[in-house]
Amino acid sequence: MAHFRGRLGEFIFLVLAAIVGASLTLTLLGRLSCNVAGLDLTIKVGVGRPGTSLELPPLGAATATTHLSPLNISMRLDSVDPGIVARLAGGGAGGINAFSTLLEEEARRMLPRLILLILSLGALGGAFFVYTFVRPARPGRILGGLFVGLVYSLFLVTGAYLTFDTESFKSARYSGVMEAAPWILGVLDKSVSRVGELNTTINTIASNASIVFRQIESLQPVPAEGRLVRVLHVSDLHDNTQAVKFIAQLVKSFDVNFVVDSGDITDYGMEAELELTKEIARLPVPYIFVGGNHDSPGVLEAMRRYPNVRLAGGSLVKVDGITVLGLDDPGAARAIMEASTDNEIHEEVTRGLEILDGLGRTPDVLVTHDPREAEAFCGRVPVVLHGHDHRLRVRTMNDSVIIDAGSTGGAGIRGLVATEEVPMTVALLHFEIPGDPGMAGARLVAVDTITLAQLKGGFTLERRFVGSAGKGR
């Protein structure tokens, strides 16, 4: 009897050693790097609280109790193929459904690799701990530890597989920026279905606006003795792929010479977001850009690589006889998206005034993002352009014409589901370039404001003539 109890004790100790060894080995070494449908993932497994977590650095994580067995699964997104973002945005609901199907298929093909990893680590961990802690370390005992570790790992995998419930992520726990994920997912769900409809609407309205523009030209032609240059002022695209198509249509229909963008081309300042608006590089005209508070150093550097883009922040740019001084928003100098403080705006204005004083001449146009910064230069520069507040307006201040392009992106995806629609807006500036080089600089003659109601399908085009204000010095 005593011998039996001794053998039973040895067996229990062997099983416990194997289970502990399998658990520790899985937790320490259970890591798999893989590419699933263009997503570079790092998957970690370990023994612990049942559940699955999805980590999206630097946004945070989502965690859900997806299964019952004590297997903890963590999936971290390391990088994304930028082409995926563009294809999803351009394909609307159909593109997202196709990607979801592909993701599910590739995940199923990857699953056997993960299961094999778990079983192998469990078996080896069980055998190693029995070899290390069970004495004497006979071959039979080591094989027993390997078998126990294998069975234990199989129990973890089978339990997770049989009880796994993807629906549990509907009640997931969020951390970091992803605490706003339920709202974001709701926005995407409502807006994706509208993208295809909006694309058709934009093409139709841009064509109709061109007809109206020609009629206005015949009834109220822009007076100009010299050469006429048309500048399209856009702002606050906020990742809206349709906004770039809208701009391209206007450039073609209105014979635009170049585009000036007063910032916030992205929402979160991530370089990958530019995949949504990369068609800017295909515009057949120069594109002058200053950063907004939703942009970042990475966004500015990525924009610099586009062949037709001219970064104007802190420098003077001359295109088609018009000189443009640009000032980036202070927020564009940091990676974290947040509004600039009054002190930061004051410092940037001071820097801008120093640049202006050192030029030896007054530029024809100053472009910046924030209206607080823009208003500080009224009276110093004849035409001042800005965005930020998503309000299309043209006004005169201290003998300067100050133009707010509103939001050419209709405030981005958020605008598609807002209670009150945010229209897509631009301003078309008509400049007269004097034929005599000895005369004053470019003179703003007229401004056309264009408002497109994204979902209702209507548009307005209004022309304003400019008097002495807006004349170059």
The 10s digit of each residue's pLDDT in 15-38 is 999 999 999 999 999 999 888 767
- pLDDT of res. 364: 96
Given pLDDT bands bounded at 50, 70 and 90, which one contains residue 286? very high
Tell me how far apart the alpha carbons of residues 463 and 451 are, in angstroms, rounded to a whole number: 12
Mean pLDDT for the stretch of residues 275-282: 85
**pLDDT score recorded for residue 54:** 82
Each residue of 208-266: pLDDT tens digit?
Answer: 556 555 655 655 677 767 789 999 999 999 988 888 988 998 998 889 999 999 999 99
What confidence score (pLDDT) does residue 349 get?
96
Q: Report the distance separating Cα 415 and Cα 421, nearest Å.
A: 6
Out of 170-174, 277-281, 331-335, pick the least confident. Answer: 170-174
Indicate the residue type of 193. S
| Structure token pair of residue 88 | 């999803």
What is the model's pLDDT at position 195?
46
Mean pLDDT of the chain: 82
Pairing of strands 51-56, 39-47: unpaired
> What's the pLDDT tens digit per position in 458-467?
678 888 998 7
Q: For residue 190, is pLDDT > 50?
A: no
Please name each of the domains of the chain with its CATH number.
2-171 (no CATH), 196-465 (3.60.21.10)
pLDDT exceeds cutoff 50 at 318: yes
**Mean pLDDT throughout 380-406?**
96
Q: In what order do the strands lie in the sheet with 60-64?
A: 31-36, 39-47, 71-80, 51-56, 60-64, 173-176
- With b for 16 or more beta-carbon neighbours within 10 A and e for fewer, the 140-160 pattern comes to ebbebbbbbbbbbbeebbebb
From CA 399, how far away is CA 379, in angstroms rounded?
6
Instruction: Tally the C-alpha atoms within 13 A of residue 201's C-alpha that lie toward its C-beta.
Output: 17
Answer whether 265's CB lies under 8 Å from 289's CB: yes
Residue 183 predicted with pLDDT over 80: no
pLDDT at position 173 over 70: yes
Average pLDDT over residues 55-68: 78
At which residue do the structure tokens 């635009």 appear?
256
Residue 382, SS3 per DSSP: coil
Could you tell me if 205 and 462 are in contact, meaning their C-beta atoms sit under 8 angstroms apart? no
Q: For the purposes of burial, counting CB atoms within 10 Å of the CB of 210, is it exposed (0-12), middle (13-18) or buried (19 or more)?
A: middle
* Tokens 């509103």 sit on residue: 406
What is the average per-residue pLDDT within 304-326? 96
Query: β-strand 459-465 against 443-452: which pairing, if any?
Result: antiparallel
Kindly report whether the global pTM for this prediction surpasses the value 0.85.
no
Per the CB < 8 A criterion, the answer to whether 450 and 249 are in contact is no
More confident site: 302 or 271: 302
Lowest mean pLDDT among 89-93, 97-101, 307-311: 89-93
Give the percent of the chain with pLDDT over 70: 76
Mean pLDDT of 82-101: 54
The two beta strands, 287-289 and 309-311, are parallel
